[in-house]
Amino acid sequence: MRTEICDRFGIEHPIIGFTPSEHVAAAISKAGGLGVLGCVRYNDAAELDRALDWMDENTDGRPYGVDIVMPATVPTEGTPVDLDTLIPAGHRDFVERTLTELGVPPLPADEKGRDGVLGWLHSVARSHVDVALTHRIALIANALGSPPPDVIDRAHRAGVPVAALAGTAAHAVRHVDAGVDLVVAQGYEAGGHTGEIASMVLLPEVVDAVGDRAPVLAAGGIGTGRQIAAALALGAAGVWMGSTWLTTSEYTLDMPESATQRALLAAGSSDTVRSRIYTGKPARLLKTRWTEAWNSADAPKPLPMPLQNLLVSPAHNRITRSDDPEVVAMPVGQIVGRMNEVRPVADVFDTLLTELTATLDRLDNLRKN
């Protein structure tokens, strides 16, 4: 199966995989797709630099991309104060009370959890771009809006195409008007930040709105070869998958058999919720007792980005340490219902491609009847 995306990137299959893990991203590229490393979790650009050094050495010369997060607006961008001081005490009290009610113990005194995410501040995201452009990246993608014009210009001057995620046809047109080369139409089903229109409706709307100005990748709810065939039928030039890789054996950001992994494997397609509690913007998460607690009558309104994640990050560290599958905090899409075993990325590719071929054959036979 070749589409214009394969030719554009020199890849075998029109499957682009977003992942926060460099190990998964490398495995996707080696399997013949395009692995795209999410940069948002790297508060320290030097750490991203090391991860991309590793990618350069472990992708057998295959292309790979990076994903940055530059929202159109970040209310606290440039605020000259310690961001922690902007978090109301009432919010902190609610988090502490909820963790106690859920039976989540404090971290051991000698253990420091991961810091809150700052990668959605433009200052930090720009440091990601600076670092990424010193590596042999084949794509820069941006979530939550068109990248600023100077970022698009810098990428283009370096010969790197730019993609942007879109949840409506209007977003997609805005991206292309801004000079974006590739649109990722991401439906409501998707894990992480997501809009309100389901993929089945969104994708043809975006394809028609963009016309031949840019190829469109389908994202949201894709985890089988039949869904890839459907995306191609709806006009996509390829697919952009995120959730599926969370249960691959190369994904080691959560340990094997961790509560997160067990919860993902057990979840059905109705076990997710779209909520602002992870980042301050609507994102699809695994529905657990933690996400449900934020629906209680005494729960405060989530804070704007980036404060909400700074608020909940220490709680997420405690939740991860407590290893209770009922209290997991994890972005994932509705396709989680099909993520039922841990498999290597290469096996996932084999299954996707076998089913894609069988589906196209079945449709072809229908036409002949």
- The answer to whether residue 18 forms part of the interface with ligand FMN (CB under 6 A) is yes
- The answer to whether residue 327 forms part of the interface with ligand FMN (CB under 6 A) is no
Amino acid at 256: P
Residue number with CB closer to ligand FMN (183 or 307): 183
Chain residue at closest Cβ approach to ligand FMN: 242
- The answer to whether residue 335 forms part of the interface with ligand FMN (CB under 6 A) is yes
Residue number with CB closer to ligand FMN (55 or 91): 55
Integer Cα distance of 114 and 9 in angstroms: 34
Judged by CB under 6 A, which of 49, 67, 250, 324 binds ligand FMN?
67
Residue number with CB closer to ligand FMN (220 or 302): 220
Integer Cα distance of 305 and 83 in angstroms: 11
Integer Cα distance of 245 and 248 in angstroms: 5
Residue number with CB closer to ligand FMN (195 or 302): 195
Residue number with CB closer to ligand FMN (187 or 314): 187
Judged by CB under 6 A, which of 69, 155, 348, 352 binds ligand FMN?
69
Q: How far is the CB of 369 from ligand FMN (least distance, A)?
A: 33
Q: Which two tokens stand for residue 305?
A: 């980005």
Question: In the window 184-203, what residues touch ligand FMN (CB under 6 A)?
Answer: 186, 189-192
- Torsional sign, CA 191, 193, 197, 201: negative
- Residue-wise burial string across 311-332, b where 16 or more C-beta atoms lie within 10 A, e elsewhere: bbbbbbbbbbbbebbebbbbbb
- The answer to whether residue 24 forms part of the interface with ligand FMN (CB under 6 A) is no
Integer Cα distance of 64 and 55 in angstroms: 8
Q: How far is the CB of 247 from ligand FMN (least distance, A)?
A: 11
- The answer to whether residue 332 forms part of the interface with ligand FMN (CB under 6 A) is yes
How many Cα atoms sit within 13 Å of 108 on the Cβ side? 4
Report yes or no: 237 and 215 within 8 Å, Cβ to Cβ. yes
Q: How far is the CB of 212 from ligand FMN (least distance, A)?
A: 23
DSSP 126-158: HHHHHHHTTTT-SEEEEESSPPPHHHHHHHHHT
- Residue-wise burial string across 297-310, b where 16 or more C-beta atoms lie within 10 A, e elsewhere: eeeeebbbbbbbbb
Q: How far is the CB of 269 from ligand FMN (least distance, A)?
A: 10
Report yes or no: 154 and 125 within 8 Å, Cβ to Cβ. no
Residue number with CB closer to ligand FMN (192 or 314): 192
Question: In the window 214-243, what residues touch ligand FMN (CB under 6 A)?
Answer: 219-222, 240-243
Chain residues binding ligand FMN by CB under 6 A are 18, 20, 38, 40, 67, 69, 141, 143, 165, 186, 189-192, 219-222, 240-244, 331-333, 335
